[in-house]
Amino acid sequence: MKRNAKVSTAVIRRLPRYYRHLSELQRAGVVRISSSALGKSMGLTASQIRQDLFCFGEFGQQGYGYKVDSLKEEIGEILGIHRGHTVVVLGTGNLGRAIIQNFKFSSNGFQLLAAFDVSPRVVGAQIAGVPVYHADELESFLAGRKVDVGLLTVPIPAAQEMADRLVAAGVRGIWNFTNRELSVQRQDVVVESVHFSDSLLALSYMISQGGEDEPSDIQEGTE
Protein backbone atom coordinates (compact mmCIF):
# COMPACT_ATOMS: atom_id res chain seq x y z
CA MET A 1 0.00 0.00 0.00
CA LYS A 2 1.47 3.35 -1.05
CA ARG A 3 1.40 6.29 1.30
CA ASN A 4 -0.41 9.43 0.19
CA ALA A 5 2.28 12.04 -0.52
CA LYS A 6 0.23 14.65 1.36
CA VAL A 7 0.19 12.77 4.65
CA SER A 8 1.57 15.00 7.39
CA THR A 9 4.63 14.18 9.46
CA ALA A 10 2.46 14.19 12.59
CA VAL A 11 0.29 11.39 11.18
CA ILE A 12 3.34 9.38 10.11
CA ARG A 13 4.81 9.64 13.61
CA ARG A 14 1.57 8.36 15.14
CA LEU A 15 1.57 5.21 13.01
CA PRO A 16 4.22 3.40 15.12
CA ARG A 17 2.14 4.22 18.21
CA TYR A 18 -0.88 2.58 16.60
CA TYR A 19 1.16 -0.45 15.64
CA ARG A 20 2.66 -0.82 19.12
CA HIS A 21 -0.69 -0.35 20.84
CA LEU A 22 -2.45 -2.82 18.55
CA SER A 23 0.31 -5.34 19.28
CA GLU A 24 -0.40 -4.94 23.00
CA LEU A 25 -4.12 -5.39 22.42
CA GLN A 26 -3.45 -8.49 20.34
CA ARG A 27 -1.32 -10.00 23.10
CA ALA A 28 -4.13 -9.23 25.55
CA GLY A 29 -6.55 -11.23 23.42
CA VAL A 30 -8.59 -8.27 22.13
CA VAL A 31 -10.20 -9.22 18.81
CA ARG A 32 -12.16 -6.10 17.90
CA ILE A 33 -12.10 -2.48 19.06
CA SER A 34 -13.98 0.69 18.21
CA SER A 35 -12.28 3.96 17.30
CA SER A 36 -13.66 5.45 20.53
CA ALA A 37 -12.17 2.70 22.70
CA LEU A 38 -8.88 2.79 20.80
CA GLY A 39 -8.70 6.55 21.15
CA LYS A 40 -9.46 6.44 24.86
CA SER A 41 -6.73 3.91 25.51
CA MET A 42 -4.21 5.95 23.51
CA GLY A 43 -5.17 9.44 24.67
CA LEU A 44 -6.51 10.42 21.24
CA THR A 45 -9.98 11.24 19.95
CA ALA A 46 -11.93 8.80 17.82
CA SER A 47 -12.10 11.47 15.12
CA GLN A 48 -8.30 11.80 15.10
CA ILE A 49 -7.86 8.07 14.66
CA ARG A 50 -10.37 7.91 11.83
CA GLN A 51 -8.73 10.87 10.09
CA ASP A 52 -5.26 9.37 10.44
CA LEU A 53 -6.28 6.00 9.04
CA PHE A 54 -8.33 7.54 6.25
CA CYS A 55 -5.08 8.95 4.82
CA PHE A 56 -4.20 5.40 3.80
CA GLY A 57 -7.57 3.95 2.80
CA GLU A 58 -10.71 2.51 4.32
CA PHE A 59 -10.37 0.64 7.60
CA GLY A 60 -12.99 -0.92 9.83
CA GLN A 61 -16.77 -0.96 9.50
CA GLN A 62 -19.28 1.44 10.96
CA GLY A 63 -20.93 -0.11 13.98
CA TYR A 64 -18.36 -2.90 14.03
CA GLY A 65 -15.04 -1.18 14.63
CA TYR A 66 -11.64 -2.52 13.72
CA LYS A 67 -10.34 -6.07 13.75
CA VAL A 68 -7.20 -5.73 15.82
CA ASP A 69 -5.09 -8.25 13.92
CA SER A 70 -6.15 -6.94 10.50
CA LEU A 71 -5.54 -3.30 11.40
CA LYS A 72 -2.16 -4.13 12.87
CA GLU A 73 -1.23 -5.99 9.68
CA GLU A 74 -2.35 -3.08 7.49
CA ILE A 75 -0.39 -0.52 9.51
CA GLY A 76 2.63 -2.81 9.50
CA GLU A 77 2.38 -2.92 5.71
CA ILE A 78 2.21 0.87 5.55
CA LEU A 79 5.27 1.12 7.79
CA GLY A 80 7.17 -1.34 5.58
CA ILE A 81 7.75 -3.87 8.34
CA HIS A 82 7.61 -6.82 5.95
CA ARG A 83 9.94 -5.41 3.29
CA GLY A 84 13.10 -6.98 4.62
CA HIS A 85 14.97 -3.82 5.54
CA THR A 86 18.57 -4.15 6.65
CA VAL A 87 20.74 -2.09 8.99
CA VAL A 88 24.37 -1.74 10.02
CA VAL A 89 25.66 -0.06 13.19
CA LEU A 90 28.58 2.35 13.06
CA GLY A 91 30.17 2.69 16.48
CA THR A 92 30.16 0.03 19.19
CA GLY A 93 30.79 2.10 22.29
CA ASN A 94 28.47 1.92 25.27
CA LEU A 95 25.40 3.13 23.37
CA GLY A 96 26.07 1.17 20.20
CA ARG A 97 26.69 -2.01 22.16
CA ALA A 98 23.54 -1.49 24.24
CA ILE A 99 21.43 -1.04 21.12
CA ILE A 100 22.88 -4.12 19.45
CA GLN A 101 22.29 -6.23 22.54
CA ASN A 102 18.86 -5.00 23.51
CA PHE A 103 16.94 -3.46 20.62
CA LYS A 104 14.59 -5.88 18.85
CA PHE A 105 15.45 -5.08 15.24
CA SER A 106 13.66 -8.15 13.88
CA SER A 107 10.41 -7.24 15.62
CA ASN A 108 10.49 -3.93 13.77
CA GLY A 109 11.16 -5.46 10.37
CA PHE A 110 14.94 -4.99 10.23
CA GLN A 111 17.81 -7.41 9.96
CA LEU A 112 20.98 -6.27 11.71
CA LEU A 113 23.82 -7.35 9.43
CA ALA A 114 26.99 -6.00 11.00
CA ALA A 115 28.69 -3.37 13.11
CA PHE A 116 31.77 -1.24 12.40
CA ASP A 117 34.37 0.29 14.70
CA VAL A 118 38.06 1.21 14.79
CA SER A 119 38.98 -0.22 18.19
CA PRO A 120 41.22 -3.33 18.07
CA ARG A 121 39.39 -4.57 21.15
CA VAL A 122 36.15 -5.18 19.23
CA VAL A 123 37.10 -5.46 15.55
CA GLY A 124 36.95 -9.12 14.56
CA ALA A 125 34.74 -10.02 17.51
CA GLN A 126 30.98 -10.39 17.79
CA ILE A 127 28.42 -8.55 19.89
CA ALA A 128 25.28 -10.59 20.53
CA GLY A 129 26.13 -12.61 17.43
CA VAL A 130 26.69 -9.53 15.24
CA PRO A 131 30.13 -9.41 13.57
CA VAL A 132 32.19 -6.26 14.08
CA TYR A 133 34.32 -5.07 11.15
CA HIS A 134 36.87 -2.29 10.91
CA ALA A 135 35.42 0.99 9.67
CA ASP A 136 37.83 0.87 6.74
CA GLU A 137 35.87 -2.11 5.42
CA LEU A 138 32.56 -0.23 5.30
CA GLU A 139 32.50 0.52 1.58
CA SER A 140 33.50 -2.98 0.53
CA PHE A 141 30.84 -4.45 2.83
CA LEU A 142 28.13 -2.15 1.48
CA ALA A 143 29.15 -2.79 -2.12
CA GLY A 144 28.25 -6.44 -1.83
CA ARG A 145 24.99 -6.10 0.09
CA LYS A 146 21.76 -4.17 0.10
CA VAL A 147 21.82 -2.04 3.25
CA ASP A 148 18.92 0.30 3.88
CA VAL A 149 19.87 2.03 7.11
CA GLY A 150 23.06 3.05 8.86
CA LEU A 151 22.76 3.53 12.62
CA LEU A 152 25.26 6.09 13.87
CA THR A 153 26.61 6.01 17.43
CA VAL A 154 30.09 7.25 16.56
CA PRO A 155 31.75 10.21 18.38
CA ILE A 156 30.44 13.62 17.28
CA PRO A 157 33.58 14.61 15.30
CA ALA A 158 33.22 11.50 13.10
CA ALA A 159 29.47 11.73 12.57
CA GLN A 160 29.33 13.78 9.37
CA GLU A 161 32.14 11.86 7.69
CA MET A 162 30.49 8.52 8.41
CA ALA A 163 27.13 9.83 7.23
CA ASP A 164 28.75 11.00 3.98
CA ARG A 165 30.29 7.58 3.46
CA LEU A 166 26.95 5.86 3.99
CA VAL A 167 25.20 8.16 1.53
CA ALA A 168 27.94 7.77 -1.08
CA ALA A 169 27.59 3.99 -0.80
CA GLY A 170 23.86 4.13 -1.49
CA VAL A 171 22.38 3.86 2.02
CA ARG A 172 19.10 5.79 2.02
CA GLY A 173 18.33 5.97 5.73
CA ILE A 174 20.43 7.21 8.66
CA TRP A 175 19.37 6.67 12.27
CA ASN A 176 21.48 9.26 14.03
CA PHE A 177 22.25 8.98 17.76
CA THR A 178 25.36 11.21 17.69
CA ASN A 179 23.82 14.48 18.94
CA ARG A 180 25.15 16.21 15.83
CA GLU A 181 22.88 17.67 13.18
CA LEU A 182 23.86 16.03 9.91
CA SER A 183 23.89 17.73 6.52
CA VAL A 184 22.75 15.44 3.72
CA GLN A 185 22.45 16.87 0.22
CA ARG A 186 20.53 14.04 -1.45
CA GLN A 187 16.76 14.38 -1.21
CA ASP A 188 16.22 10.61 -1.37
CA VAL A 189 18.15 10.08 1.88
CA VAL A 190 16.23 10.31 5.15
CA VAL A 191 17.91 11.23 8.44
CA GLU A 192 16.11 10.44 11.69
CA SER A 193 17.97 12.03 14.59
CA VAL A 194 17.43 10.90 18.17
CA HIS A 195 18.38 13.46 20.82
CA PHE A 196 17.89 12.06 24.31
CA SER A 197 18.61 15.48 25.82
CA ASP A 198 15.73 17.07 23.89
CA SER A 199 13.24 14.71 25.47
CA LEU A 200 14.73 15.19 28.93
CA LEU A 201 14.75 19.00 28.61
CA ALA A 202 11.15 18.98 27.42
CA LEU A 203 10.31 16.97 30.52
CA SER A 204 12.29 19.46 32.59
CA TYR A 205 10.23 22.32 31.18
CA MET A 206 6.94 20.61 31.87
CA ILE A 207 7.72 19.73 35.48
CA SER A 208 9.27 23.17 36.05
CA GLN A 209 6.10 24.92 34.87
CA GLY A 210 3.84 22.88 37.13
CA GLY A 211 2.66 24.84 40.17
CA GLU A 212 1.79 23.54 43.58
CA ASP A 213 -1.89 23.77 42.70
CA GLU A 214 -1.52 21.43 39.71
CA PRO A 215 -3.08 17.98 40.22
CA SER A 216 -0.67 15.13 40.72
CA ASP A 217 -0.89 11.54 39.52
CA ILE A 218 0.64 10.49 42.84
CA GLN A 219 -1.69 10.63 45.82
CA GLU A 220 -0.56 10.41 49.38
CA GLY A 221 -2.13 7.71 51.50
CA THR A 222 -4.30 8.57 54.49
CA GLU A 223 -3.93 7.06 57.89
Classify burial at 32, counting beta carbons within 10 Å of its beta carbon; exposed 0-12, middle 13-18, buried 19 or more: middle
Region of poorest pLDDT, from 64-78, 117-131, 152-166: 64-78
Answer yes or no: do 43 and 95 share one domain.
Answer: no
Answer yes or no: do 68 and 95 share one domain.
Answer: no
Q: What is the CATH number of the domain that holds 50?
A: 1.10.10.10
Neighbours of 195 (CB within 10 A): 14
N-terminal to C-terminal alpha carbon distance within the chain: 58
Query: 170 lies in a domain?
Result: yes
Query: 206 lies in a domain?
Result: no
DSSP 147-162: --EEEE-S-HHHHHHH
For residue 182, what are the domain limits? 85-199
Answer yes or no: do 23 and 117 share one domain.
Answer: no
According to DSSP, residue 2 is labeled P
Q: What is the CATH number of the domain that holds 127?
A: 3.40.50.720
Region of poorest pLDDT, from 79-83, 162-166, 186-190: 79-83
Answer yes or no: do 72 and 91 share one domain.
Answer: no
Give the pLDDT band of residue 210 (cuts 50, 70, 90): confident
Query: 223 lies in a domain?
Result: no
CA distance 79 to 12: 9
Beta-carbon contacts of 61 under 8 Å, excluding residues fewer than 6 positions away, are none
The model's pTM is 0.80
pLDDT tens per residue, range 127-150: 999 999 999 999 999 998 999 999
Answer yes or no: do 90 and 189 share one domain.
Answer: yes
Hey, CA dihedral for 122, 174, 18, 207, is it positive or negative? positive
Q: Number of structural domains, the chain?
A: 2
Q: Indicate the SS3 state at residue 85.
A: strand
Query: 216 lies in a domain?
Result: no
Answer yes or no: do 67 and 90 share one domain.
Answer: no
CA distance 193 to 215: 34
pLDDT tens per residue, range 37-63: 999 999 999 999 988 988 887 775 666
Give the pLDDT band of residue 219 (cuts 50, 70, 90): very low
